[in-house]
Amino acid sequence: MRRTVIAGNWKMNKTMMEAELFSDSINEYDLSNTKSDQIIFAPSYMLQSLNILLKSSRIEVGCQNMHQYESGAYTGEISADMIKSIGITSILIGHSERRQYFNESDKVVNEKLLLALEKNLTPYLCIGETLEERTAGIMRSTLKNQLVKACKNVKINMANKIIIAYEPIWAIGTGCVSNAEDANIACRNIREIVAEIFDLDIARNMIILYGGSVNPSNIDEILAQSEIDGVLVGGASLDVTSYISLLK
């Protein structure tokens, strides 16, 4: 049985005071009845504090990015060991904004994924096609290319730790949510590709999230899809009322 995961991605948003207000509101709610696994990928500077603030909630705190090397002269970067040393165990890898604005190549995504697995972090691997790729009918081959490259040298006994976030680039932050059936087809494609790379068992058990303009009014339809196990939510995870609606 695959778990349902509701993940938020705060990107480069929220001062510490805003995060504190968010946490105060969360802590006032009884979310013990919610069944999903819950995580917020927060900016690095606040990870430790947010972890403490949300300690009594069911919400895990994850990191949005890490460097592919263990340590060294990489000014401004954060390492896997640093993240682990403050009790963070989940990491977003290959978000399309990292690929687009920070030139993160498939090779770098692969290096980060391998390091995350080696360090026993749970990687949330983001993949997705552009609108041009979708209209050109190459969605599946684009996803396959990203997956094969990202998973190069990943040992099969490590593969079950990976969570995949399918995020069509044209749907991220645009308000253009994918049609739920189309998102389901893409996630089924991903599961088939995972079976080709690893095996059927890994594919059947892999948690696959959909991300791209998810909000409280479309989440139910998306979660009702057979191949979609959860969501990765950017904009709608910033407002506490909207985030609580997503969890509920």
Interface residues with ligand PEP (CB under 6 A) are: 9, 11, 167, 172-173, 211-214, 232-236
Nearest residue (CB) to ligand PEP, 9 versus 142 = 9
Nearest residue (CB) to ligand PEP, 139 versus 233 = 233
Place of tokens 């690095």: 44
Nearest Cα residue to 65 out of 51, 49, 77, 81 = 77
181 a catalytic residue: no
**Angle, alpha carbons 20-14-66 (nearest 5°):** 105
CB of 196 to ligand PEP, least distance (A): 26
Nearest residue (CB) to ligand PEP, 202 versus 236 = 236
Nearest residue (CB) to ligand PEP, 185 versus 216 = 216
Distance CA 189, CA 232 (A): 18
CB of 170 to ligand PEP, least distance (A): 10
Distance CA 60, CA 44 (A): 14
CB of 209 to ligand PEP, least distance (A): 9
Candidate list 104, 129, 133, 167, residue with the active-site label: 167
Give me Rg for the CA atoms of the chain: 17
95 a catalytic residue: yes
CB of 213 to ligand PEP, least distance (A): 4
Distances (CA, A) of 112 to 105, 135, 166: 11, 30, 18
φ/ψ of residue 185, rounded to 5: -60, -45
Candidate list 60, 95, 111, 129, residue with the active-site label: 95
Distance CA 199, CA 9 (A): 30
Nearest Cα residue to 192 out of 136, 140, 114, 230 = 140
CB of 239 to ligand PEP, least distance (A): 12
Instruction: State which H helix or E strand residue 240 sits in.
Output: helix 240-247
For residue 226, count CB atoms less than 10 angstroms from its CB and return exposed for 0-12, middle for 13-18, buried for 19 or more: exposed
Nearest residue (CB) to ligand PEP, 11 versus 161 = 11
Catalytic residues, by residue number, are 95, 167
